[in-house]
Amino acid sequence: MAAAFGTETGLTGSARAVARTAMFTAARRYIDANPGQPDLTVDCVLAMSQLSRPTLYRLFEPEGGLHAYIRNQCMEMTTW
């Protein structure tokens, strides 16, 4: 999935945006499904997503950052 951002794949424009959305959605679903796991860390999400750290961080910028998103999901789980 990480190769979807590379220019060597030939993806441009909307196809590239779809790939970016799919990667973001997969990472977000993983975090949302595992908020109580003690090993839910940025490195864990990086390994699952197979994206580079800068790419993953860039995808989560609108959410306040990757670490903030993980923290918020963990806090939401404890308030239930």
pLDDT value of position 20: 82
What is d(CA 12, CA 33) in angstroms, rounded to the nearest whole number?
31
pLDDT in tens, 52-78: 899 999 999 999 999 999 999 988 877
**Domain ranges within the chain, ordered by starting residue:** 38-80
Return the closest-CA partner of residue 23 out of 54, 51, 43.
51
Structural contact between residues 34 and 40, judged by C-beta atoms closer than 8 angstroms: yes
